[in-house]
């Protein structure tokens, strides 16, 4: 594994700055009298106090990276005042970096994955309680949540993902005061986006009928969709505050909040649906209430316990807002192209000769894949935070090492799940069905599920790297080509023009995902992380509203 570049170094370790030529990378983890850990710890103890970018460097037209002394990121999880890693020269160096990066990764990924699991549970328990009212009601709520609510959730989550880039890089650079400004910009953009999406909720009934749903189910689903409009608007607060906290690695609170919200949601569902007998209206009220409690709790935590990042409402939120909108839209398109791609396989499968067996077996496999996906969504968010933090801190090597370690560990996890699926291919479906024919159909798809789970262990990591580095627009184009120009047509041909059926559709989709993963891996491998540091610094100067010091923002507050 090639772990060092010939690129210009952002900063050298103290002991080796004398007499070293620019561009040399002679720093090391070890010396004659110290271990790798002690040497790096000693180097990390040196604090940096100068501004993010020295004005002299700009005046003399010198590369900003060459003349930079960067703030440490003010977090024990992110950097703890550490300088960039020196080059890896020995196995002990590699072992040390792997251990350090693993600790940082999982301290972020675990709470996020748990929070996502709890949020998934809120949707599941809503369907479970409605299912005891009636089958038609269950179908209506399931369609409303999976089609209407999931569309708005994915789009707004994508719009909010722009904060993963900006807040993470600002935090890494020590410009924590910018996080509050960025978050307020995202609030404005996401609230405006909610009004754009609103007609989808209002006219959900004709939309669902147009998609071929039964009239009675479409009517109920449309009525339920109107009742959960408040939940959609809560996401305009929820997602920006969530990204604000993730950028600072304050994710422990999100895990506790997710658990508390899930327990509260189950209680009020029971109260509204079982005790008060409010039916679907009660389920919608509980859904709205839980969503707003999560959003308000996050907001209270930000205002009350994140004083460094929250300086009050500021007029700076309205500056450079169009550039922010473009990055938000690119993030949304990038994410939605992935979400819709995997929804399309169900639609295509539903038009095969035996749709009940095909859709049923595929749904079981997708359900298993979804549970694994919860873990990798957490890893996706964690690597996005790590990349953006290290770029903001001016640490190109740390960024590269973090990506390498995360990809390697995710691949190991993916291989484990792949082996597990293949070892239990004839038995894991018993969790969902006892029908021998359905279990046999699932068993025939198991090898495709195993390959998908392997690919899904690497693909979210690279997507997270893209978000952390601000490559959303590029990845959106890559997704469009790999998924919709290559993978989807190939799946259609294999599924409908050969005997493969659902397997052919899935093979085509896998090929699209594989191509996208390979392209992103090549781009990531060839990335000049020193230039990414420069771009991160330029982005903060440009979108920070023109303020270099936190004190200057006071006059811009409401």
Residues 172 and 302 in one domain: yes
Q: List phi, psi (to 5°) of 54.
A: -70, 130
Domain containing 529: what range? Answer: 89-110+352-541
Residues 308 and 236 in one domain: yes
Are the C-beta atoms of residues 138 and 130 closer than 8 Å to each other?
yes
| Residue 351: band (very low, low, confident or very high) from pLDDT cuts 50, 70, 90 | low
Domain assignment present for residue 72? The answer is no
Residues 312 and 224 in one domain: yes
CA 299 to chain centre: 20
Q: What is the CA radius of gyration of the chain?
A: 25
Residues 138 and 203 in one domain: yes
| Residue 70: band (very low, low, confident or very high) from pLDDT cuts 50, 70, 90 | very low
| Residue 473: band (very low, low, confident or very high) from pLDDT cuts 50, 70, 90 | confident
Domain assignment present for residue 30? The answer is no
Alpha carbon distance 157, 163 (integer Å): 10
Task: Give the single-character DSSP code of 97.
Answer: H
Domain assignment present for residue 125? The answer is no
**pLDDT tens for each residue of 298-336:** 999 999 999 889 999 988 888 878 888 988 898 898 888
Half-sphere exposure of 78 (CA within 13 A, CB side): 33
Angle among Cα 364, 331, 553 to the nearest 5 degrees reads 135
Residues 314 and 206 in one domain: yes
Question: Per-residue pLDDT for 552 more than 80?
Answer: no
| Structure token pair of residue 353 | 């000769």
Maximum CA extent, the chain: 80
Alpha carbon distance 398, 128 (integer Å): 45
| Residue-level pLDDT at 556 | 58
Residues 101 and 158 in one domain: no
**Comparing 43-52, 269-278, 313-322, 402-411, which segment has the lowest mean pLDDT?**
43-52
Residues 391 and 292 in one domain: no
Domain assignment present for residue 509? The answer is yes
Domain assignment present for residue 368? The answer is yes
Residues 292 and 367 in one domain: no
Total number of domains constituting the chain: 2
**pLDDT tens for each residue of 220-265:** 999 999 999 999 999 999 999 999 999 998 999 999 999 999 999 9
Alpha carbon distance 80, 215 (integer Å): 59
| Residue-level pLDDT at 550 | 47
- Location of structure tokens 């300088």: 83
pLDDT: which is higher, 462 or 65:
462
Residues 182 and 237 in one domain: yes
Residues 157 and 294 in one domain: yes
Residues 372 and 402 in one domain: yes
**pLDDT tens for each residue of 91-140:** 998 999 999 999 999 999 999 999 998 988 898 899 889 988 988 888 88
Residues 411 and 304 in one domain: no
Domain assignment present for residue 143? The answer is yes
Domain assignment present for residue 168? The answer is yes
Are the C-beta atoms of residues 474 and 466 closer than 8 Å to each other?
yes
Closest CA to 464 of 149, 98, 226, 113: 113
Alpha carbon distance 409, 492 (integer Å): 34
Domain assignment present for residue 462? The answer is yes
Backbone region of residue 23 per phi and psi (left: phi > 0; alpha: psi in -120 to 50; beta: other values): left
**pLDDT tens for each residue of 137-191:** 888 888 898 889 988 998 999 898 888 888 998 898 888 988 999 999 999 999 9
Highest mean pLDDT among 135-139, 169-173, 438-442, 484-488: 484-488
**Comparing 223-237, 409-423, 494-508, 530-544, which segment has the lowest mean pLDDT?**
530-544
């Amino acid at each position: 594994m090639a772990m060092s570049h010939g690129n210009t170094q952002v900063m050298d370790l103290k002991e080796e700055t004398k007499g070293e030529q620019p561009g040399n990378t002679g720093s090391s983890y070890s010396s004659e009298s110290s271990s790798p850990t002690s040497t790096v710890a000693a180097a990390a103890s040196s604090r940096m106090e100068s501004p993010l970018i020295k004005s002299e460097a700009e005046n003399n037209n010198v590369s900003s990276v060459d003349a930079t002394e960067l703030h440490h990121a003010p977090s024990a999880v992110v950097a703890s005042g550490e300088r960039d890693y020196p080059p890896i020269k020995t196995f002990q160096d590699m072992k040390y970096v792997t251990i350090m990066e693993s600790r940082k990764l999982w301290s972020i990924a675990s709470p996020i994955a748990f929070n996502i699991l709890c949020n998934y549970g809120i949707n599941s328990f809503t369907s479970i309680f409605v299912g005891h009212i009636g089958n038609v009601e269950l179908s209506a709520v399931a369609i409303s949540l999976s089609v209407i609510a999931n569309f708005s959730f994915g789009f707004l989550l994508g719009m909010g993902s722009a904060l993963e880039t900006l807040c993470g890089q600002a935090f890494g650079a020590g410009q924590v005061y910018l996080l509050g400004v960025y978050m307020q910009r995202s609030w404005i953009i996401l609230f405006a986006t909610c009004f754009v999406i609103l007609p989808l909720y209002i006219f959900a009934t004709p939309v669902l009928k147009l998609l071929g749903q039964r009239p009675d189910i479409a009517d109920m689903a449309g009525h339920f969709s109107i009742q959960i409009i408040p939940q959609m608007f809560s996401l305009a607060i929820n997602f920006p505050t969530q990204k604000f906290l993730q950028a600072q690695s304050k994710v422990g609170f999100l895990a506790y909040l997710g658990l508390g919200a899930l327990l509260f949601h189950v209680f009020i569902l029971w109260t509204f649906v079982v005790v008060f007998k409010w039916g679907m209206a009660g389920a919608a009220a509980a859904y709205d209430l839980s969503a707003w409690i999560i959003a308000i709790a996050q907001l209270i935590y930000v205002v009350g316990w994140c004083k460094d990042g929250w300086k009050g409402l500021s007029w700076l939120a309205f500056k450079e807002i169009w550039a922010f909108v473009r990055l938000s839209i690119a993030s949304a398109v990038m994410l939605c192209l992935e979400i819709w791609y995997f929804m399309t396989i169900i639609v295509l499968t539903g038009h095969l000769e035996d749709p009940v067996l095909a859709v049923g077996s595929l749904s079981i496999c997708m359900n298993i894949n979804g549970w694994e996906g919860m873990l990798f969504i957490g890893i996706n968010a964690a690597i996005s935070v790590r990349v953006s933090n290290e770029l903001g801190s001016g640490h190109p090597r740390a960024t590269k090492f973090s990506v390498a370690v995360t990809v390697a560990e995710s691949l190991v996890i993916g291989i484990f799940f792949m082996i597990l699926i293949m070892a239990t291919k004839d038995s894991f479906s018993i969790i969902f069905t006892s029908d021998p024919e359905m279990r046999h159909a699932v068993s025939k798809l198991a090898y495709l599920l195993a390959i998908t789970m392997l690919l899904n262990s690497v693909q979210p990591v690279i997507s997270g790297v893209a978000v952390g580095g601000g490559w959303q627009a590029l990845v959106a184009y890559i997704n469009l080509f790999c998924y919709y120009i290559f993978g989807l047509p190939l799946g259609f041909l294999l599924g409908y023009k050969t005997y493969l059926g659902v397997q052919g559709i899935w093979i085509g989709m896998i090929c699209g995902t594989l191509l996208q993963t390979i392209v992103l891996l090549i781009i990531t491998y060839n990335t000049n992380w020193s230039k990414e540091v420069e771009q991160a610094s330029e982005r903060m100067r440009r979108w920070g509203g023109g303020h270099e010091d936190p004190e200057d923002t006071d006059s811009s507050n409401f």
